[in-house]
Structure 1
Amino acid sequence: MNLYYLYYLESGVVALFTSRTDAAQKLADILSEYKSRDETIVLGILRGGAVLAHTLSRCLGLPWDVLGIKKIGAPFDPELAVGAVAPDGSIYVDRWIKEHYGVSDDYIEGTKARKLVELRDQLNYIRGSSSYGNLNSMIVIVTDDGVATGATMKAAISFVKNNNAQKIVVAVPVISPETFEELRGLADEVKALLIPEDFMAVGQFYLNFQQVTDDEVAKLYRSIKGENIS
């Protein structure tokens, strides 16, 4: 495949994308079959994925929306995802991590309740609602700026399935090989520009990987008048 350009950082690490917008523009090349396709929508996982969804929308002539998913971190390490919760309260739990580290059901349920309140408040601010309509008969392209362990993406896939999507396409710039294989068993199609064996973190493949704020996503969301599910 065409790896486009390599950007050498001072640390010697090679990056493939200058920014999330650049990654989305390149990702659009492998999604050309969905350009201006009827009954198709792009959903971007907050927050970074929303930037990609916004750009893919413009490149492919498709409507887009933001999809809020909150990670449930381990009690000893908030960055280690035990699972993730979707806006409807559905939850994905990584059974191996839960059992390996002895994470209790009470902890997961308590954290889920707290994260769900945060998530709905976040969505109400960004898109005016935390509710989503039925995706029946729609092709749904779910995107993010990259996928490591895949907890949030797995929760997103489950959420979209629960909303009766006709077809689920996961499309990301970069993904770990193990998670790529896992997601192929959950989604109808998984597309990625890069599946590196030396995957360590999503940010290693970007020159600019600054955190995206709710304000920035809200501005993007309100800048396009299109068909958004709400």
Structure 2
Amino acid sequence: MFTDRRDAGRQLAARLTGPWQEPLVLGLARGGVPVAAVVAAGLDAPLEVAVARKIGAPGQPEWGIGAVTAEGPPIYDAASTSRLGLTAQQLAELCEPERTEAARRVELYEDGRTPASRVGRDVIVVDDGLATGVTAIAALRAARAEAPRSLTFAAPVGAPEAVERVRREADEVVCVEAPRDFTAVGRWYEDFDQTSDTEVIRLLKS
């Protein structure tokens, strides 16, 4: 159990021992950014933001059947889309609002600043937890496209099956806990209040 995202970040930073070459920490917005801010401070690394949006099932937005970033192709969970019998047109209609929202958030968070280059650096993508892995994978693929030296995914807690899924996308996956009775990320925090855009912007500027 973690007290809050700052406590989770401290415990996670202790596991990220490196050695690192020009490390760059990317907080997965929104909830991953407070965790990532503590990790970045612990590694004496700059903090940037990564934005990936879950694509929800029709009428069941909490059921993540895919994810998308502001640029690049969406990814989908083949088992979920097959089970629902969704056509390519239906998937496109579900995806586009999330891509638009991802682009809006990127513009809001970067606020005219040019993101740091990922090329040749050790990039660490951080979230506050790993449930299905779909948004993590979208963020990792976007980061991989920018030619980092290495790509690590880190979260305080993750579902074991999601951890294994993400291992196929990252060079390393670091989780403080991967409990078999995972159920939900928020279960493992005493304080799991929603992170606001205002807090994300403040952390990125501090």
Q: What's the TM-score, normalizing by structure 2?
A: 0.94
Q: What does 1:191-206 align with in structure 2 at a 5 Å threshold?
A: 191-206=174-189
Runs of at least 4 residues off by over 3 Å: 129-134
Q: 1:41 aligns with which of 19, 24, 38?
A: 24
- The answer on 1:29 being equivalent to 2:14 is yes
The root-mean-square deviation of aligned C-alpha atoms, in Å, is 1.6
Query: Which residue number in structure 2 is paired with residue 76 of structure 1?
Result: 59
SS at match of 2:140: helix
> What is the total number of aligned residue pairs between the two structures?
206
Cα distance between partner residues in 2 of 1:109 and 1:132: 28
- State the alpha-carbon separation in 2 of the partners of residues 99 and 199 from structure 1: 25
Q: What amino acid sits opposite 1:20 in the alignment?
A: R
State the Cα distance separating 1:76 from its structure 2 match: 2.3
Q: Is the 8 A contact 2:53 2:69 kept in 1?
A: yes
1:221 Cα shift? Answer: 1.1
1:185-219 deviation digits (Å, cap 9, x = unpaired) = 22110111101010100000000001111111111
Q: Which residue of 1 is the match for residue 192 of structure 2?
A: 209
Residues in 2 aligned to 1:221 and 1:53: alpha-carbon distance in whole angstroms: 10
d(CA) in 2 for partners of 1:134, 1:79: 33
CA distance in 1, matches of 2:181, 2:14: 24
In the alignment, structure 2 segments of 5+ residues that lack a partner are none
- For the 8 Å contact 1:41–1:64, the answer to whether it is kept is yes
Q: Distance in 1 between matches of 2:146 and 2:95?
A: 20
Amino acid at match of 1:19: D
Structure with bigger gyration radius: 1
- % identity of equivalent residues: 34
Amino acid at match of 2:83: H
Structure 1: 5+ residue runs without aligned partners?
1-15, 224-230
Measured after TM superposition, the shift of residue 131 of structure 1 is: 7.2
Any residues of structure 2 matched to 1:29-178 within 5 Å, and which? 29-34=14-19, 37-129=20-112, 132=115, 134-178=117-161
TM-score, length-scaled by structure 1: 0.85
Q: In 2, are the aligned partners of 1:134 and 1:164 still within 8 Å (CA)?
A: no
